[in-house]
Structure 1
Amino acid sequence: MSRALGPRPSLWHTGAMGGWLVLAACWAPAGGLWVVWVAAKIAAMLAGGTVLPFGAGFALALGRGAWPGTPTFLVLVVLAVLVAGLGALVWTVWRYVAERLPRPDDPIAALAHNPGIEVLKHAQAAGKAVELRRSLKGTDPLRLGPGEVGLLLGELQRPGRPGKGTALYASWEDTLVAFMAPRSGKTTALSIPYVLSAPGAVIATSNKADLWAATARLRQEAGGRVWLFDPQHITYQPQGWWWNPLSGLATVEDAHRLAGHFVLTVDDPQKKDLWGPAAQDLLCALFLAAATSGRSLRHVAAWLDEPAVPTPIELLHHAGFTLMASSLKGTQNGAVETRDGIYQTARTAAKCLRDQDILSWVTPGDALPAFSPAEFTAGTRPGTLYLLSKSRSAAAPLIAALTDTVMRAAEHHAERSGGRLDPPLVVCLDEAANICRIADLPELYSHLGSRGIVPVTILQSYEQGVTVWGEPGMAALWGAATRKLIGAGTDSPRLARDLATLIGQHDVPTRSLTHADGRTSEQISLRRQDILEPAAIRALPPGTALLLATGGRPALLGLCPWYAGPRAGRIAESITLAEAAITEGARRADATWPEVAE
């Protein structure tokens, strides 16, 4: 019978029934007799008796001593055990084969043959790593560990082969974007493994403590320094350093870029805010005035509260930025309603500067060491920079600014080191749309990979990216990402439909039955249908993801969470110790509040 979708015809109503009855009539007696002979043979061996040879003589002697010296009861017991064992064996084999035979419309089988992803397998990816990294020249690619090969995307699912499949890797010149709903494995299968497997420096953003808890201790044990930016006390760890966003800011372009990180946090879903660009120009002028005069962000916050203060204008004139000074003077001398609207928008964008806990991380104090992006990217020991914030309304603009500054420092270092960073810099941007909005990230994607900077942007949905970068920007990010992962919980109908189109169609055999004159005839036809329909894409089980790789057809992967890997025990221990440190830190923080302590 052909494997096809549709109802199967009953054997009683097809012409094949007669043939099967003839076969059964011919072979069933012989098979049953052989089973009885085997049972008698086994019983004879146990009892020390004998049994006649298998054949017609044994069949004729069944009723009058075919197994002399062997108790008939023992033969019957062995026969029952043998029949039960053969039945169980046949049933087990049948179930094993049936479970591994793909359905005619099985998407795993349709996507399994994919020559375009051969370059992602270990051997090819290892060869690419040796080619891209100067420090690996002359190394046998087959001797490279998984962390040197690239970032593990997942394991290719094969039809009828549950469990581990072929591991696929992103190379050190790839750029990644992932769409994964909460609780679908974005931290356990992407962020944590990527931070731990990175051979060089790492930037990791998150709105929770789990990523830091699982990886910080192990990264520090590997020899690198851990830098934790946690102004909202998510981990309850003491502040150990500070960073000056105004350091090295000497051009209008740099100041305008820094101001853009602040303005991008202002809610404006329709991109119709007339005050946004003007507020960015205002912040640009104030940042430049503070940076060129040795002042800090505290002075910027104070200037925002006094729309008519002439100090920043004088400082810009003194530093030689006369055009910026003239622009700022024009803003201050404009119509009161216009000026107030611009300043209020700027104050909203820079509201994190009103929080003393946040401000202490970006202004000097308490003799804490200053973080240097240039030293971080050029250091011989790979450091790890954790940037934590609970929401967009808090320290998000500073996280975006620090991430952007480190990436630009890494790019500058790459240009002075032959064009590529070695080892590469991994930038894992979890919750990128909420706490790390970089306005030109889609444009950066087009060249970061060629500099040895591997960005991994993790979003909850395609629409979440549209709210940050708009339709053209999100389309540019999608197009520039060489590796795209779509995990479980894709609730966007638009994305699901587009993915169904990109995945393509296949021919599925379909069975139809015709009943006439007491007989059933069967016809098999081919039906063209989507390999994965939008509803099936939305219903992808947790732990799986679709991979869209440049130059290859889509593939269905099984993700590789940290708790299924070889370092699960050490990571679990690290989490336990970090949670204990968080608990102790929270208790110390509570003790500082009298009403809580009581």
Structure 2
Amino acid sequence: MAAVWWLRFRQSDRHFIHELRGREGLAKPGEIRKHTSAGTAVRRAKALRPSLSSPTAPAVGWKVGQAHRQDVYVSIEDSIVVEGAPRSGKGYRFIINAILDWCGPLITTSTRNDNLSATMRERARVGEVTVFDPQELSGVRSSLRISPVTGCEDPLVADQRGQAIVAGTALGASKTNQEWAHVASSVLSRLLHAAAVSGRGADALARWGSNPRLALEAVSVLSNQGTPGWAEDLDAIINGDEKLLASSWFGVSGAIRPLAIPAIRKAMTPGPGEQFDPDQFLTGSNSLYLVGTGAGAGSVGGFLGAVLDDIVETARRKALASPGSRLDLPLALILDEIANMFSWPALPRIMADGGGIGISTIVVLQALSQAETAWSRAEADTIWSAATAKLVLGGASDVDHLRDLESLLGNRRIRNTGHSYNETGSSTNIHDEKVPVMSLDEIRRMPETVGLLAYRTRRGILLDLRGWTDRHDARRVKSGKKATETDQQLVFAEQYQAALDRRRAAGERN
């Protein structure tokens, strides 16, 4: 029986994890204590949050797990990539904890409402919570309304927003049609500017963008109120070559197509007092959930990207106007499923330099190939390389990427002892052999309860990952999650019934 037990234990996850913990080449307790402990995070507080008189580790660092029974923190100035296959526990063991622990303004993205359901009520305890959900995927009644036109009186803002909206479309994501994407963003920026200076909103933008002849009205507006030269640029495209016009307007009409859906247009038509204020948002521990999809009918990825772009640019300007050119109250971007929502053009730059101005970024991917699809191979490499903390979960299947991770961890030496026998006696041969710290198969086989952290210049750290249900405040979080889910179910039931009534009414008319 003992032999059977031992054989089963040797084949279990427990033995696998135990063997990895003691392996040479991975960080030991002393290294954890010196470089990634809570105390190390607090010692960085004077540079990162000089206004704090009694800083705590969560105020200046992200807790990513435990190793050798010590909490492991990375700095808030680090950019983080979390990579894990579907159902590997990214949300349960990391994302939800990160949202709950953050002290400051926070923007988080998702195509689903799992993270929102678990964290919305807790985040409401520390600041204002808003949800921008044009496609009505979240089940939240008091969702935010944001006009794409607001702020576009400034031609620079209009130009940036036009680029962001087009970048979130299929044309913007295409690597072979960038010249048409550039033309489309140029036209869209002028339409946004015309709508803003004339005091109009999404209705005018939708009308002008649907047909170039209708956009002649925008030319007239720009001639009287707009930036010099913009009316002539737009007029030249509209009254230019017919074949070129069709190609140019294809990207414009695709970008504003979601506005043809009443619910989406309503979400982008705020009433009096409903407009979102990025400056006010950055003053406290407020939360903004961006929920939507970047594919299929009613895709709003471009508009979500424009919202994110606007807030980040506001944060950048505020940082430059602050002591030390850094936000005193850092902004967190927890970008879950972003590769499935929109290819945000600013992400590679924010990953590279955001930490220095107080913008802390976490990008969550199912695989690095997702980033290559959403952006480009070069930009995906930039995102990966700019991440000073890389948290890898098990279940990956891209052999080339696993091999890169194997190389990233380096090698260890193992001693092999061999015995040989002959007529004159026996001899013993001892030689050292270099082998990977973790083979690609071992990285793939990591159970859900562990993760691998590659941090700056340090050796790899094997992490114990605990789900949010193990938190000290788990009972309160569960209660809030249950209440939120109950409200969501009521909203979804109403939406379903309304859709059913519309179909019945349509059937009766036919």
Q: Which of the five TM-score ranges fits, normalised by the shorter chain?
A: 0.7 to 0.9
Q: Distance in 1 between matches of 2:206 and 2:504?
A: 34
Go from structure 1 to structure 2 and tell me whether the alpha carbon gap of 1:151 and 1:392 turns closer, same or farther (over 3 Å shift): farther
SS at match of 1:360: helix
Residues 416-472 of structure 1 deviation map (CA, whole Å, 9 limit, x = unaligned)? 332222332211110111224311211122221122111111111111111222122
Partner residue, 1:166 = 70
Alignment of 1:144-183 (within 5 A): 144=56, 146-156=57-67, 158=68, 165-183=69-87
Question: Per-residue deviation at 1:596?
Answer: 8.3
* Contact 2:414/2:432 (<8 A) preserved: yes
> Which of these residues, 118, 138, 150, is aligned with residue 214 of structure 1?
118
What value does the CA root-mean-square deviation take over the aligned residues?
Answer: 2.9
Partner residue, 1:61 = none
Question: Per-residue deviation at 1:377?
Answer: 0.8
Select between 111-120 and 568-577 the one with higher mean Cα deviation: 111-120
Alignment of 1:177-256 (within 5 A): 177-222=81-126, 224-256=127-159
> Which of these residues, 274, 284, 306, is aligned with residue 369 of structure 1?
274
**Counterpart amino acid of 2:27?**
A
SS at match of 1:227: strand
Partner residue, 2:501 = 594
Question: Per-residue deviation at 1:256?
Answer: 2.2
Partner residue, 1:132 = 48
Residues 476-535 of structure 1 deviation map (CA, whole Å, 9 limit, x = unaligned)? 222222212122222222221211112111111223343446987653321111112222
Partner residue, 1:258 = 161
* Contact 2:327/2:358 (<8 A) preserved: yes
Partner residue, 1:382 = 285
**Counterpart amino acid of 1:151?**
W
SS at match of 1:325: helix
Q: Distance in 2 between matches of 1:356 and 1:400?
A: 20
Q: Distance in 2 between matches of 1:100 and 1:313?
A: 68
**Taking structure 2 as the reference length, what is the TM-score of the superposition?**
0.88
Go from structure 1 to structure 2 and tell me whether the alpha carbon gap of 1:232 and 1:519 turns closer, same or farther (over 3 Å shift): farther
* Contact 1:242/1:361 (<8 A) preserved: yes
Alignment of 1:296-315 (within 5 A): 296-309=201-214, 310-315=216-221
Partner residue, 1:81 = none
Question: Per-residue deviation at 1:214?
Answer: 0.7
* Contact 2:197/2:225 (<8 A) preserved: yes
Q: Distance in 2 between matches of 1:450 and 1:437?
A: 23
* Contact 1:243/1:372 (<8 A) preserved: no
Go from structure 1 to structure 2 and tell me whether the alpha carbon gap of 1:595 and 1:270 turns closer, same or farther (over 3 Å shift): closer
> Which of these residues, 14, 22, 25, is aligned with residue 110 of structure 1?
25
Q: Distance in 1 between matches of 2:118 and 2:425?
A: 66
Structure 1 residue ranges without an equivalent (≥5): 1-86, 159-164
Residues 297-353 of structure 1 deviation map (CA, whole Å, 9 limit, x = unaligned)? 221111122213321112222234232222212211222122111112221222222
Partner residue, 1:65 = none
Go from structure 1 to structure 2 and tell me whether the alpha carbon gap of 1:351 and 1:116 turns closer, same or farther (over 3 Å shift): farther
Alignment of 1:278-297 (within 5 A): 278-297=183-202
* Contact 1:116/1:551 (<8 A) preserved: no
Select between 498-507 and 113-122 the one with higher mean Cα deviation: 113-122
Question: Per-residue deviation at 1:595?
Answer: 7.0
* Contact 1:242/1:370 (<8 A) preserved: yes
Residues 166-225 of structure 1 deviation map (CA, whole Å, 9 limit, x = unaligned)? 221122222212222221122112221111111111111111111111111111123x11
**Taking structure 1 as the reference length, what is the TM-score of the superposition?**
0.75
> Which of these residues, 388, 393, 400, is aligned with residue 305 of structure 2?
400
* Contact 2:77/2:360 (<8 A) preserved: yes
Q: Distance in 1 between matches of 2:139 and 2:42?
A: 40
Go from structure 1 to structure 2 and tell me whether the alpha carbon gap of 1:250 and 1:270 turns closer, same or farther (over 3 Å shift): closer
Query: Which structure has the larger Rg?
Result: 1
> Which of these residues, 485, 489, 492, is aligned with residue 398 of structure 2?
492
Quick one: percent identity of the two aligned structures?
27
Give the count of matched residue pairs: 488
Q: Distance in 1 between matches of 2:304 and 2:449?
A: 29
